[in-house]
Amino acid sequence: MPVSYSEDLRRRVIAAWEAHDGSQRHLAQRFKVSLSFVRNLLRQYRQNGEIEAKQRGGYQKPTIQNEHLSLIKSWVEEKNDLLLSELCIGLCPVR
């Protein structure tokens, strides 16, 4: 999964832009980032004064519900060499 650019890089791009060190295209080349990153960063900075990266992703519901998890734990405690296929067969009636 891609990682957001550092806050330090974001600050340097903003500082260079405010110092009129070149066009957006020039800044993108200078800092080795995409032109769209520079444009989006400057837009975000102008709109709300923030340079922090936006939160990525969001909440994902657990794949296994609590009731199923406790059932699986009890089966594994009873017999710790169960195969995944056996656990799946055991869970089918629960669904």
Task: Give this prediction's pTM.
Answer: 0.59
| 92 domain-assigned | yes
pLDDT digits 0-9 by tens, 21-67: 999 999 999 999 999 999 999 999 999 999 998 877 778 887 888 88
Number of domains in the chain: 2
The fraction of the chain above a pLDDT of 70, given in percent, is: 96
69 and 38, same domain (yes or no): no
More confident residue, 72 or 30: 30
Phi-psi region of 8 (alpha: psi -120 to 50; beta: other; left: phi over 0): alpha
Closest by Cα among 49, 85, 93 to 67: 93
List the domain range (segments joined by +) for residue 91. 63-95
The whole-angstrom separation of Cα 24 and Cα 14 is 10
41 and 68, same domain (yes or no): no
Report CA-CA distances (Å) from 11 to 17, 29, 45, 58, 88.
10, 16, 10, 26, 51
